[in-house]
């Protein structure tokens, strides 16, 4: 008997929906859907239009506010220039250019136009020539734009100097009163005594694109004038500060091309009735069909500007979509789909039955494939040496794979299916940690279960294993029902870890035994990896405070770090910064350098630091090892020996050896720089008589006292030395012979005007000499000796110079 299709087996009482009714229902659905689609599309179009208007209003207001702010900024910047002039006695060209240079970003230029009366014109031009402007002339432009001498007027306002980043040549000498617009602007300044803007002008010398603009003028009075634009206050006007402003720079400077392409902007002077001649018009064309316009009046230094903004095609493209089209299209398609769904509803059951049969066949095929994959997985796990276990928590049964049993030395029949087969083989010392890790996972506190522990093998040997698993099935209350995991033999890795731990312990013991040497290792970023006992004693930090953290910033002196980084950057040809300063020169060997370090208690140390690189098995640099030795005492001893070797034991000033060294250095330095160099030498008058009358102790007192008085009157760069006996000398680098003479006179007067207790007034004979390029140190010393001898021969207590 042939089986009928599923829809033909339905009971006759239920019947089948006729095709006519199905079409009627589909038509009703389609009509209702189209009506709703039309209503929704109109609403979406209205909302989109409102959003476009709001977006345009926001963009237009933002652009207008930006123009207003830039107009206000131009006034503020010119006001600041005027205040600069008011607060200065006299402003030179260099001071003017230095002050206005930061303000030239969006201004064509600034200029100073002093007031020049007719009778003072010639003297004014002559002063300009003396100041270096040889071609300066008060002029005006003829009909061809060429400069010609300005006509005779009552007063002039010529450009004396200015600054600009856009004009190749400033119109120096051009009289503001030479044009009608300039005379009108001058009259406004004299009348209103405040910032005023000119009528739109073509700025001379400006690039063609920026030539259209306005002149912003500010009057400059040297002192507060009387109230009201009287003749007296107009007479007090000293000049006009002028700012040349391009409309294009004012509106477009600082804006990217994308922003400029969004809106079409037109700027007009409200006083100009010609609607077709704007002051500025954007390069982008407006779309007038959009019916979106924003207009605003802006006041700028007494002039009323009308700014008009309209959307461009790019703005409409970005902000005006056609959402209603997509709504109508989507609604129409949805209506058609619903109508089609009604038509196909009758055959849905048959399609479902066919789909069930297909899915059943697919499930059977997937089941067979899954069984094959499981077999392959077990084979792969066994081959890789991973033991698999499958724990059914409800039944308390565990499946142990063949590899798991073989790993412990058992055959398949020697291991059961209880949990005790694994638990009773775990080492007693590992039971607690393994149980805690398992319970954390079973409670859902850890995503995976993982434990490293020991299992006893069949032969009694302990085997380290990595045990991992995961709950695959839970009950409705969250209780685990099934868990699957693996166990891997990690005995070899554990043995290597134990051996490595022993080596590290021995190494740390050796490092800590070196208590007199600081040994520190870091990674490439400067994070401390080891810090021995010697380092703790040397720097005052405990290992616990610094391990795993960057080397403390205050260990090294910051000035030394900066100087070292600068020297290394110049030597290596690349920027050296951060912790790289310490090991930049390590390379394949080591680097040795002396540093000034700070202990935790603030005490300074001088350490000799040897840095070597720490490398991995492939030779790559992974860190640094530093060995620091405290050389503070040795450095202090060296400095003390150096001080004693160059210091006179009696007076405390420098000795002859130090003087010779500094004289040679000073001559070499002055030879390179061209600076002068002078010597002041003096002998104490009648010093032998002092020793004979008062004793040698009194003579020593005289030497010490005179050296103290002289040292108080010298500069830090001067070198004061005792050559021997009562002979002393002062090396004066950078001092001419005249300056040295004034110093010698001051010292001579200081000795003459103060007496020494128990001895009286002690004077000295001074000689001075200046070094001439090409002379040797001996030549200079012979010259100053001659001058001292002349002072003694001419009566002592005087200053003589040798100009030979």
Largest CA distance in the chain: 159
pLDDT tens figures, 105-127: 778 889 999 999 999 989 998 99
Long-range Cβ pairs for the range 31-39 (8 Å, 24+):
32/335, 33/331, 33/332, 33/334, 33/335, 33/338, 33/339, 34/331, 34/332, 34/335, 36/331, 37/327, 37/328, 37/330, 37/331, 37/332, 37/334, 37/335, 38/328, 38/331
Q: Which residues contact 1 (CB under 8 A, 6 or more apart)?
A: none
Helix or strand holding residue 643 (H, E): helix 632-645
Neighbours of 642 (CB within 10 A): 11
Residue 337's pLDDT band (boundaries 50, 70, 90)?
A: confident
Residue 4 is predicted with a pLDDT of 41
Least confident piece of the model among 8-12, 199-203, 607-611: 8-12
Residue 113 is predicted with a pLDDT of 92
Question: 427: alpha, beta or left, given left = phi > 0 and alpha = psi -120 to 50?
Answer: beta
pLDDT tens figures, 466-520: 989 998 888 888 889 899 999 888 887 877 777 666 656 555 655 555 556 888 8
- Between 399 and 254, whose confidence is greater? 399
Please check whether residue 457 is in contact with residue 405, taking contact to mean a CB–CB distance below 8 angstroms: no
Instruction: Check pLDDT > 50 for residue 769.
Output: yes
Q: How many Å from the N-terminal Cα to the C-terminal Cα in the chain?
A: 146
Instruction: Check pLDDT > 50 for residue 86.
Output: yes
Instruction: Check pLDDT > 90 for residue 766.
Output: yes
Find the mean pLDDT for residues 616-632: 79
DSSP conformational letter for 717: S
Find the mean pLDDT for residues 205-210: 78
Beta bridge mates, 801: 768
Gap between the Cα atoms of 33 and 329, Å rounded: 11
Residue 589 is predicted with a pLDDT of 64
pLDDT tens figures, 155-166: 999 998 888 887
Percentage above 90 pLDDT, the chain: 7
Q: Which residues contact 360 (CB under 8 A, 6 or more apart)?
A: none
Question: 803: alpha, beta or left, given left = phi > 0 and alpha = psi -120 to 50?
Answer: alpha
pLDDT tens figures, 563-588: 888 888 887 888 877 777 777 777 65
What are the chain's domains? 88-254 (3.30.450.350), 385-489 (3.30.450.20), 511-637 (3.30.450.20), 646-802 (3.30.70.270)
Helix or strand holding residue 466 (H, E): strand 462-474
pLDDT tens figures, 30-84: 888 888 888 887 888 888 788 888 888 898 898 889 889 888 988 898 889 899 8
CB-count exposure of residue 140 (10 Å: 0-12, 13-18, 19+) = buried
Residue 116 is predicted with a pLDDT of 93
Residue 239 is predicted with a pLDDT of 92
- Between 635 and 758, whose confidence is greater? 758
Please name the residue that has the structure tokens 């056609």.
322
Instruction: Check pLDDT > 80 for residue 290.
Output: no
pLDDT tens figures, 125-143: 899 888 888 888 988 888 8
Least confident piece of the model among 357-366, 506-515, 611-620, 774-783: 506-515
CB-count exposure of residue 771 (10 Å: 0-12, 13-18, 19+) = buried
Helix or strand holding residue 571 (H, E): helix 558-572
Q: Which of helix, strand or coil describes residue 714?
A: coil
Please check whether residue 306 is in contact with residue 19, taking contact to mean a CB–CB distance below 8 angstroms: no
Gap between the Cα atoms of 487 and 391, Å rounded: 13
Beta bridge mates, 175: 158
Which residues in 309-348 are b (16+ Cβ under 10 Å) and which e? bbbbebbbeebbeeebeebbeebbeebeeebeebeeeeee
pLDDT tens figures, 356-382: 778 888 888 887 777 666 655 665 555
CB-count exposure of residue 37 (10 Å: 0-12, 13-18, 19+) = buried
- Positions of E strands within 475-566: 480-489, 518-523, 528-531
DSSP conformational letter for 758: T
Task: Give pTM, 2 decimals.
Answer: 0.40
Report CA torsion sign: 147, 149, 154, 155: positive
Please check whether residue 341 is in contact with residue 11, taking contact to mean a CB–CB distance below 8 angstroms: no
Q: Which of helix, strand or coil describes residue 172?
A: coil
Least confident piece of the model among 205-209, 305-309, 503-507, 651-655: 503-507
What rounded mean pLDDT belongs to the chain? 81
Find the mean pLDDT for residues 180-194: 87
Q: Which residues contact 518 (CB under 8 A, 6 or more apart)?
A: 532, 534, 535, 537, 538, 539, 607, 626, 627, 628, 629
């Amino acid at each position: 008997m042939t089986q009928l299709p599923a829809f033909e087996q339905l009971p006759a009482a239920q019947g089948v929906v006729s095709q006519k009714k199905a079409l009627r229902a589909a038509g009703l659905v389609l009509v209702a859907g189209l009506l709703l689609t039309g209503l929704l599309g109109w609403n979406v179009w209205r909302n989109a239009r409102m959003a476009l208007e709001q977006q345009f209003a926001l963009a237009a207001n933002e652009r207008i506010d930006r123009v207003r702010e830039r107009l206000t900024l131009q006034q503020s910047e010119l006001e600041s220039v005027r205040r600069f002039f008011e607060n200065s006695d006299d402003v030179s060209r260099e001071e003017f250019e230095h002050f206005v240079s930061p303000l030239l970003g969006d201004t064509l230029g600034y200029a100073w136009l002093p007031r020049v009366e007719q009778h003072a014109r010639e003297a004014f031009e002559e002063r300009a020539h003396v100041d270096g402007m040889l071609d300066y002339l008060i002029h005006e432009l003829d009909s061809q734009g060429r400069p010609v001498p300005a006509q005779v007027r009552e007063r002039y306002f010529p450009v004396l100097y200015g600054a600009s980043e856009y004009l190749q040549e400033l119109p120096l000498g051009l009289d503001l009163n030479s044009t009608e617009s300039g005379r009108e602007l001058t009259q406004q300044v004299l009348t209103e005594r405040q910032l005023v803007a000119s009528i739109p002008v073509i700025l001379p010398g400006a690039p063609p694109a920026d030539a259209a603009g306005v002149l912003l003028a500010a009057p400059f009075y040297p002192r507060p004038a009387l109230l009201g634009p009287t003749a007296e206050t107009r007479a007090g006007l000293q000049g006009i500060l002028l700012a040349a402003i391009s409309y294009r720079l004012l509106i477009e400077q600082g804006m990217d091309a994308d922003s400029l392409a969004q809106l079409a902007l037109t700027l007009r002077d409200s006083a100009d009735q010609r609607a077709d001649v704007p002051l500025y018009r954007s390069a982008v064309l407006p779309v007038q069909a959009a019916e979106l316009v924003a207009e605003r009046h802006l006041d700028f230094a007494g002039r009323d500007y009308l700014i008009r903004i309209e959307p461009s095609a790019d703005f409409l493209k970005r902000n005006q979509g056609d959402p209603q089209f997509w709504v109508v299209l989507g609604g129409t398609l949805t209506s058609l789909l619903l109508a089609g769904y009604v038509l196909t509803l009758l055959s849905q059951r048959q399609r479902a039955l066919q789909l069930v049969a297909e899915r059943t066949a697919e499930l059977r095929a997937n089941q067979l494939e899954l069984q094959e994959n499981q077999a392959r997985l077990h084979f792969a796990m066994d081959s890789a040496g991973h033991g698999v276990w499958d724990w059914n928590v409800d039944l308390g049964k565990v499946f142990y794979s063949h590899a798991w049993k073989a790993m412990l030395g058992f055959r398949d029949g020697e291991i059961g299916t209880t949990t005790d087969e694994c638990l009773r083989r775990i080492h007693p010392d590992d039971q607690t940690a393994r149980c805690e890790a398992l319970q954390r996972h079973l409670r859902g506190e850890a995503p995976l279960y993982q434990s490293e522990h020991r299992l006893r093998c069949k032969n009694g040997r302990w085997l380290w294993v990595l045990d991992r698993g995961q709950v695959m099935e839970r009950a409705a209350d969250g209780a685990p029902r099934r868990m699957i995991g693996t166990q891997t033999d990690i005995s070899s890795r554990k043995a290597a870890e134990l051996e490595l731990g022993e080596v590290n312990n021995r190494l740390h013991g050796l490092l800590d035994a070196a208590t007199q040497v600081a040994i520190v290792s870091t990674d490439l970023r400067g994070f401390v990896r080891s810090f021995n006992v010697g380092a703790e004693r040397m720097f005052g930090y405990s290992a616990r405070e610094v391990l795993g953290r960057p080397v403390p910033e205050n260990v090294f002196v910051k000035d030394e770090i900066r100087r070292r980084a600068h020297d290394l950057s110049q030597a290596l040809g690349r920027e050296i910064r951060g912790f790289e300063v310490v090991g930049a020169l390590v390379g394949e060997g080591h680097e040795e350098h002396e540093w000034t370090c700070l202990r935790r208690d603030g005490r300074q140390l001088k350490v000799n630091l040897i840095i070597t690189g720490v490398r991995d098995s492939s030779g790559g640099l992974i860190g640094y090892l530093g060995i620091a030795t405290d050389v503070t005492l040795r450095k202090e001893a060296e400095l003390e020996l150096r001080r004693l070797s160059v210091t006179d034991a009696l007076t405390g000033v420098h000795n002859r050896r130090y003087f010779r060294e500094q004289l040679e250095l000073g001559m070499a330095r002055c030879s390179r720089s061209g600076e002068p160099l002078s010597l002041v030498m003096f002998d104490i008058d009648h010093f032998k008589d002092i020793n004979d009358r008062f004793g040698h102790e009194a003579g020593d007192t005289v030497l010490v006292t005179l050296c103290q008085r002289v040292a108080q009157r010298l500069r830090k760069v001067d070198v004061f030395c005792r050559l021997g006996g009562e002979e002393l000398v002062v090396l004066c680098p950078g001092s001419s012979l005249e300056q040295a003479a004034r110093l010698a006179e001051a010292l001579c007067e200081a000795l003459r005007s103060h007496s020494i207790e128990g001895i009286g007034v002690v004077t000295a004979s001074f000689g001075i000499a200046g070094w001439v390029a090409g002379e040797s140190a001996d030549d200079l010393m012979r010259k100053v000796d001659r001058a001292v001898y002349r002072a003694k021969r001419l009566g002592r207590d005087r200053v003589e110079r040798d100009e030979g």
